[in-house]
Amino acid sequence: MPSLKEIRGRINSVSATLKITDVTRMISSAKLHKVQGSLNSFSFYKKSISSTFYDLVDSLAETNIPLMTPNVDTKKVLIVSFSSNTGLCGAFNTNAIKKTATVMGSYRAKSYDVILYAIGKKIYDGFSHNKNITLENISPEIYDHPSYAKVSEIAEKIITMYLNREVDEVIMIYNRFKNILTQYIAEKKLLPLINGNGHKDSYPDYIMEPDRETLVSVLAPQIVKLEFYETFLESLAAEYGARSSAMQAATDNANDLLDELSSQYNKVRQSAITGELIDIVGGSEALR
């Protein structure tokens, strides 16, 4: 049976861990609330702009939009995989790494060269040993102060690669946020752009300046950036949700362990006191 000193040491250790997990949970919960607000408002804006863009595309008699035209020559795919920079978020990063490995395997089976853009240190660390892919650690600092300007710079680089026919496809892999308890891994094609509206026989009669062709050519890169930023926000919300949930579970476990240790401490202490009383009584009887 452990001594009172050993049990006190364990209680102090668990109590210190409990403070860390509880503070981390509260910080993650606060950050999640902020990102959720940004995600909800941005998604509404992005959906409206995208709907207008694809209405314009449908209204054109002929479309020659480079970002919507498949590249079929280079046999290269760019996979953009989102993770966190730090741990303590359950299976969040593990799921991203497993899904990325699966998608890479499917493209390599088709003799594609794979370029992996790691958005987050954990996904980079997960594939840094793999010599069969081109791996780049892309701006891990964007998680420190997330902003549309910083994220759109990455999207601009990706757009340039596609227009220069350096890659055939661009695939995004990320954790999608459903609620604080549920995040699920998702795969989304960023390029070439796919018309989400489908062909329409009629479309809104917009009055616009300049002409439709010019607007479509200007809007196409913006749609890619909006899609990319929304995915980034989804991943960020999922990260905070996963970390908040994981830290809540760790806090609950620490509280349960403290209860067990306190009970054990009281039993050992009571046993020690009882032993001392028996020794005192035994000594008194021996003196009679």
pLDDT in tens, the chain (288 residues): 677 788 788 888 888 989 999 999 999 999 999 999 999 999 999 999 998 888 888 877 677 889 998 887 778 999 999 999 998 898 999 999 999 999 999 999 999 999 999 999 999 999 998 888 899 988 888 988 889 999 999 999 999 999 999 999 999 999 999 888 888 999 999 999 988 666 555 556 667 777 788 888 899 999 999 999 999 999 999 999 999 999 999 999 998 988 888 888 788 777 766 766 566 656 655 556
Instruction: Give 136's contacts (C-beta < 8 A, 6+ positions apart).
Output: 115, 116, 117, 118
Give how far Cα 100 sits from Cα of 45, 151, 233, 235, Å.
29, 20, 19, 14
DSSP for residue 71: P
User: Is 15 inside any structural domain?
Assistant: no
User: Is 266 inside any structural domain?
Assistant: no
Tokens for 279?
């020794």
User: Is 37 inside any structural domain?
Assistant: yes
User: Is 5 inside any structural domain?
Assistant: no
User: Is 273 inside any structural domain?
Assistant: no
**Strand partners of residue 179:** 182
C-beta of residue 53 within 8 angstroms of C-beta of residue 220:
yes
Task: Give the separation between CA 258 and CA 111, rounded to whole angstroms.
Answer: 55
User: Is 163 inside any structural domain?
Assistant: yes
The total number of structural domains that make up the chain = 1
CATH code for the domain in which residue 120 is found: 3.40.1380.10
User: Is 280 inside any structural domain?
Assistant: no
Within 10 Å of residue 113's Cβ, how many Cβ atoms? Answer: 16
Chain CA centroid to CA 113, Å:
25
User: Is 31 inside any structural domain?
Assistant: yes
The residue type of 181 is L
Domain extent at residue 236: 26-245
